[in-house]
Structure formats: structure tokens, C-alpha cells
Amino acid sequence: MAHIMGFGGYTPERIVTNDDWAQLVDTTDEWITQRTGIKRRRVAADDESTMTMAVAAAESVLEDSGLVPDDIDEIILATDTPEMMTPDTSALVQHQLGCRNIPTYDLAGSGCAGFVQAVDVARSRIAVDPKKVLVIGVELISRMISPKDRNTAVLFGDAAGAVIMGPEPARAEVLNVVSGTDGGNAEILTLAAGGTRNPFNEVTLANGDYNRLVMDGRKVFVEAVRRMSEASVEVLRRIGKSVSDVALVIPHQANLRIIEAVRKRMGLDEDKFFVNIQEYGNTGSATVPLAMWEAVNNDRIQKGDLVVLTAFGAGFHWAAAAVQF
């Protein structure tokens, strides 16, 4: 039994609009709005980092849960944009937050599916050892991809979201999670920079390869729609429910057209899907916890509601969780 005790999030103050991007690269507000639904995104300040954003989201969820850092028994942090190659960001968060010497680890590189996968890992950790797990999804993508590449730069934003999970009945129960991976599609969406295939050196610097996000957007689009809708239906089937039982779906926010296609495949009305992509763009593994935090704060979720979280990202990885409030 894994329960969610509280919800938290953090978004940087600086707002970059589509018109701001149009001053920098060959794009327009109209193109970005029509193709993606994004109107603006948040960008971290120079004195912020993946760790500081994760800590801000952690402080937010601790307050929401009525807990202190001492209460946390484990941290799982999902990110594709870590503070450093090593050590992982979760270690830095553990210290900065003032936690005990608890175990922490990053779930790194699983793209935008990272947070929902981390919820699944936390669920199994709690099943073997009843503990309180801080689960964070954080992304500082603006610093990792080329600001000159209009194909990718305009799509992303920086943010963090978090939950605390524990064994005792609390505000919501994670009933089941379906997840999967298709590494056969790994090359469709990559950020190779800094890895052993493409280490940082003079050559990658000269080639501009140090921040090149390579993405076949159309293939990602098609697979994202299929996997997120199928995983959502499957997780409902596993708990003996159907889409008509769902009060709200919180999908990964990568593209409004992807979200719409998932919604239509599931046969649900617009009000059953939570959308905030217009404000934040694609914030990777932070989209789902950030959206869930907003949905709770904006009273989009009531006690008794069955909520589905669904996400898809590089790997390809995907995951869907059924959460009973």
C-alpha cells in the first residue's frame, strides 16, 4: 500500500514568451501555439540549478504534508538534466534539505516518463520497507539544449514537482502502475552530450554537439499518443475500472495535440484532462508532479476522485499510474 501524503512544486520566476523566442530564432507565436499549445515557459535564473529547484519543490511538499526533513527515509529524484554527471542530484538535495543520511538515488535519463516511473519504484520500496519516500521530478532543460535550434528550444521549460509517499493511508493511494520501455527507439530522442559516446571536448564544442537534442518529433508524437493512452487503459483494467470511472487524467505535457489525441483515443471529454502546457511548455519529468500539484491546489481534484497519471519520454519509456484520492 503506497499513499501520497502531499504535493509540491516549484517554477522559476522568469517567463519567456513565444514572442521572446521569435526575437531569437526563426519562429512565430502562431507556429508554436498551433503546433504545440505552448504560450510561455519558465526559465531558471543564473543562480538557480537543478538542485536548488528540486530543494524548492521538496520544501513545498514538506510543508504541504506537515513534515520536516528528518521525517524523510529515502529520496528518488527523476531528471534528465542533473546538476552534475556524478554524484547524482539526489545526494545534493539530501544534504541541502538537511535530511538524515538516508539512501537517495536519481532515476536518470528516462526522459519525461521519469517521475511516474519513480512513483512506481517508490511504491515497491514502500512495499518491502514501510518508509516515507520523497519523490521529485525536476528539469533544468534550458541550460542543456541549444538556444539556436528552433526545432527543440521553444518546446521546453524549467520546473520541479514533488510528492511524499508513505505506507499509511493519506490523501491519495497509488493503486497500480503500468510501465514499459522500448529501447529499440532509443535513437529517436537523444541528448548524447557529456556521455561516453559524446564526451565534452574540443571536438564536440567545435561541432556544437555539446547541447544538441536530437529528436524525430513526428515519431515521438505517434508513439507518445499510443503508449500513453494504452498504458492508461491498461492500468485501469488492472484495478477493475474503465475510462468512465476516471475523474481526471494528468498527462505529460509535451504538446497539446498529443494530449488531445490521447484524450480522443480514450474517449473522454476535455474537462477530464488537466492541461497547463500553455504556461510551462514541456518540463520533462517535472510536468506530471507540477500539474498534479496545480490540480490539487485549484480544486480540480476532489476526495473520492480516481486520477490517472500518464507520461512518455526518451528511451522510449512510458508509465501510467492509477491514483485514488
Active site residues: 112, 252, 282
Q: Residue 39: which region, alpha, beta or left (left: phi > 0; alpha: psi -120 to 50)? A: alpha
The C-alpha cell of 30 is what?
502562431
Measured from the CB atom, is 105 or 221 closer to ligand UT7?
A: 221
Q: How far is the CB of 140 from ligand UT7 (least distance, A)?
A: 15
Which phi and psi (to 5°) does residue 121 adopt? -65, -45
Measured from the CB atom, is 259 or 296 closer to ligand UT7?
A: 259
Q: How far is the CB of 176 from ligand UT7 (least distance, A)?
A: 23
Q: Which residue has the cell 541550460?
A: 143
The C-alpha cell of 246 is what?
476516471
CA distances from 254 to 148, 274, 285 (A): 20, 13, 11
Cβ atoms 147, 23 nearer than 8 A: no
Q: What is residue 156's DSSP assignment?
A: B
Measured from the CB atom, is 155 or 322 closer to ligand UT7?
A: 155
For the chain, the straight-line distance linking the first and the last C-alpha, in angstroms and rounded, comes to 14
Q: How far is the CB of 204 from ligand UT7 (least distance, A)?
A: 22
Q: How far is the CB of 36 from ligand UT7 (least distance, A)?
A: 5
Please return the burial class of 217, using the count of CB atoms within 10 Å of its CB with bins 0-12, 13-18 and 19+: middle
Q: Which residue has the cell 505517434?
A: 222
Measured from the CB atom, is 153 or 174 closer to ligand UT7?
A: 153
For binding to ligand UT7 (CB under 6 A), which residues are involved? 27, 31-32, 35-36, 112, 150-151, 154, 189, 217-218, 220-221, 224, 254-255, 282, 313
Q: Which residue has the cell 480544486?
A: 299
The C-alpha cell of 218 is what?
513526428
Sign of the C-alpha dihedral, residues 306, 288, 119, 223?
A: positive
The C-alpha cell of 229 is what?
493512452
Q: To 10 degrees, the CA torsion angle through 134, 255, 177, 318? A: -100
Q: How far is the CB of 35 from ligand UT7 (least distance, A)?
A: 4
Rg over CA atoms, the chain: 18
Measured from the CB atom, is 78 or 175 closer to ligand UT7?
A: 78
Tell me how far apart the alpha carbons of residues 230 and 179 are, in angstroms, rounded to a whole number: 11
Q: Which residue is nearest to ligand UT7 (CB)?
A: 217
Cβ atoms 104, 117 nearer than 8 A: no
Q: How far is the CB of 12 from ligand UT7 (least distance, A)?
A: 19
Measured from the CB atom, is 167 or 217 closer to ligand UT7?
A: 217
